[in-house]
Structure 1
Amino acid sequence: MDPDTALFVEVVAAGSLSGAARGRGVSPAMVSKRIARLETRLGVRLLNRTTRRLELTARGALYHTDMVAVVAAIRAAEARIMEDGAGPTGPLRVSAPTSFGRLHLAPRLKPFLDAHPNVALDLDLSDGFSDLLGDGVDLAIRIAPSAEPGVATPGFVAHRLSDSRRVLCAAPAYLEAAGTPGTVAALEGHRLLAARGQLPWRLAGPRGDLTIDGESHVRTNSSEVVRELTVAGVGIALRSLWDVSGDLASGRLVRVLPAFEGSADVGIYAVHARVAPTAVHALLGYLRGLWLPTPPWGG
């Protein structure tokens, strides 16, 4: 791939000229000069640059989509050469949400690693959005609606591995003290718990979809903290069954308004480049075996 084109892809992944410059160890001015050189060669403007924002032009977005596919194909070709007929081998970088990775990936990876000893797995757990291309991620686990950009990403393929049912729940001690809401409207008088960006709640009920808005009783950026607060009896939360099924089974949490659940369009997806190394397909097949047709958390 042309070096200036590769740099263009890095700029888009970083979201700024300065971000790409830091990754390369060069000056932003040098990055800007090389992007301008690429635009001159192609005869089109790829990026609109201001002091605060960097945006792809319409033609720049098309070019970027094609180049993402090229980069993915190059990576896959390199991985195939490295395999040399020995089966999946080489580095395999996987990203997943923190709680999900800790509960449902890490404890179940040993059989996969035993079966594929030549795969060097790098597992990155984070609740932040990971850019597959810019971060060098081979396979990303996404928990999101099917139409969300992190799932519906140009140049990549998304496999739905499971539904992600979410239920309203609280600790018995909280409900004993505050009362159990009998209607959705009654939630307004209760302490709601959610991480930043997780409210409003979109619920599906017997009469269709509805939205519950409000503010979290405790402000936090951590979904794991929300779970611990809920178990401790601080308030009511909308939690995924993969996260709280054990607590519901033990009685540490109980369902609230069981006729209502989180919107059913949210699922658990594995996302990878259209052309991917054999190790990606091997891991994908292993995860399908774990979670399809019915996941262990009863999704």
Structure 2
Amino acid sequence: MMKLDGLEALVAVAEAGSISAAARRLGLAKSVVSDRLAELERTVGARLVQRTTRALALTADGDALIVRARSILREVSDAQAEVVERRGSLAGPLRLAGPISFGALHLGPAIYRFLALHPEIQLTLDLDDRFVDAAGDGYDAVIRHGPITDERLIVRHLASSRRLLVASPAYLEQRGWPRTLAELDRISAILYTNRDADWRFPDASGTMIVRPSACLRVNNGLVMRDAALAGLGVTLLPTFFIHRDLADGSLVHVDVGVEAEGATIHVAYPANRSPSAKLAALVAWLRTEFGTPAYWDVDLS
């Protein structure tokens, strides 16, 4: 008979990419995870993981079993959580993914307060700016700023943010202050590489698109902010990155007469299963913590 700990080991190895990483995720010794996986293979009479010197990959049998394994583990977890929730508390594992910088600045602090109120929840938070496969990688939900187009996911609004052009006072004193969209052609721009480099500004006739000349392209919002603080150029960032720098004057809003398209923070979860009570409670908590309008925009008013 298959054991749950063997199925758990298989899922962890498949998602983490190695036995060592799976052991760290499960809080177990590497030898324990390896033994559980080997026992599962003996039980089903098939090799489930192909081991090479560089990587691990599921075999065809492993691919077939892991779908059922995830479903079984989720059913067990949900059943355990339901029993606890009937007693009026929230409990059990919850796995989330989110962007690195927003996670460090805003998501993490809000979650810490939530977990202090619900100590029986075991939350795993993976911060990564790549667009993880929420449906396939075993996440209960993902949090992202920007569009989510995966039709396998239910997407819900979590918070909004203005997006402002900013630069350091020193840069503007040296290079001059652009006052119109046309004058953005002469600036040095700090651009984000993970999406289109276009800067989009809605107006009465539609959307004006500016394609500035880049002095730096980088895939991290905090590095973009730091580059602007260093006087490197003008950048376009959500206010959740820069509200404190604007408040203390270390960055200045470059007002060109029209404001760029805003940013939206979403939470998304697989469409083939209903969100658990603990996920619903966390989403409601985050909406309250961030506020409407969000506190990073209120700080600028």
Query: Structure 2 length as normaliser, TM-score?
Result: 0.71
Distance 2:93 2:246 in 1: 38
CA offsets 1:139-164 (integer angstroms, 9 cap, x no match)? 2111113xx42xxx334221101223
Distance 1:121 1:200 in 2: 37
Whichever residue aligns with residue 296 of structure 1, its letter is Y
> Is the alpha carbon distance of 1:33 and 1:126 closer, same or farther for their aligned partners in structure 2, counting shifts above 3 Å?
closer
State the 1:110 CA deviation: 2.7
> Is the alpha carbon distance of 1:171 and 1:30 closer, same or farther for their aligned partners in structure 2, counting shifts above 3 Å?
closer
> Does residue 151 of structure 2 align to residue 127 of structure 1?
no
Contact 1:195 1:220 in 2 (8 A): yes
Alignment-derived partner of residue 288 in structure 1: 287
State the 1:29 CA deviation: 11
State the 1:207 CA deviation: 5.0
State the 1:278 CA deviation: 2.1
State the 1:32 CA deviation: 5.8
Give unpaired runs (5+ residues) of structure 2: 1-10, 23-47
**Counterpart mapping for 1:96-175 below 5 A:** 96-145=98-147, 148-149=148-149, 153-175=150-172
Alignment-derived partner of residue 181 in structure 1: 178
Contact 1:98 1:127 in 2 (8 A): yes
Percent identity between the aligned chains? 31
Aligned residue for 1:290, secondary structure, equals helix
State the 1:133 CA deviation: 2.5
State the 1:90 CA deviation: 1.6
> Does residue 49 of structure 2 align to residue 25 of structure 1?
yes
Whichever residue aligns with residue 280 of structure 2, its letter is H
Whichever residue aligns with residue 97 of structure 2, its letter is S
Q: 2:247 aligns with which of 246, 249, 265?
A: 249
CA offsets 1:102-125 (integer angstroms, 9 cap, x no match)? 110112223211221111111111
Contact 2:161 2:296 in 1 (8 A): no
Aligned residue for 2:296, secondary structure, equals coil
CA offsets 1:218-260 (integer angstroms, 9 cap, x no match)? 2323222111001111100001011111111111111112532
CA offsets 1:75-130 (integer angstroms, 9 cap, x no match)? 65333211223432221111111111111011222321122111111111111111
Distance 1:237 1:144 in 2: 17
Contact 1:200 1:213 in 2 (8 A): yes
> Is the alpha carbon distance of 1:187 and 1:125 closer, same or farther for their aligned partners in structure 2, counting shifts above 3 Å?
same
CA offsets 1:162-216 (integer angstroms, 9 cap, x no match)? 2232111111110000000121111111100012134011122465411111442
Contact 1:89 1:118 in 2 (8 A): yes
Q: 1:268 aligns with which of 265, 273, 284?
A: 265
> Is the alpha carbon distance of 1:187 and 1:246 closer, same or farther for their aligned partners in structure 2, counting shifts above 3 Å?
same
Return 231-240 or 125-134, whichever deviates more.
125-134
Aligned residue for 2:279, secondary structure, equals helix
Distance 1:127 1:113 in 2: 23
Contact 1:191 1:216 in 2 (8 A): yes
State the 1:71 CA deviation: 8.9
Aligned residue for 1:217, secondary structure, equals strand
Contact 1:94 1:124 in 2 (8 A): yes
Distance 2:71 2:49 in 1: 26
Contact 2:49 2:57 in 1 (8 A): no
> Is the alpha carbon distance of 1:134 and 1:215 closer, same or farther for their aligned partners in structure 2, counting shifts above 3 Å?
farther
Aligned residue for 2:146, secondary structure, equals strand
Whichever residue aligns with residue 162 of structure 1, its letter is A
Whichever residue aligns with residue 297 of structure 2, its letter is G
Contact 1:161 1:288 in 2 (8 A): yes
Whichever residue aligns with residue 215 of structure 2, its letter is H
When the two chains are superposed, the root-mean-square deviation of aligned CA atoms in Å is 3.2
Give unpaired runs (5+ residues) of structure 1: 1-9, 38-67
The count of aligned residue pairs is 247
Contact 2:203 2:258 in 1 (8 A): yes
Whichever residue aligns with residue 245 of structure 1, its letter is H
Query: Structure 1 length as normaliser, TM-score?
Result: 0.72
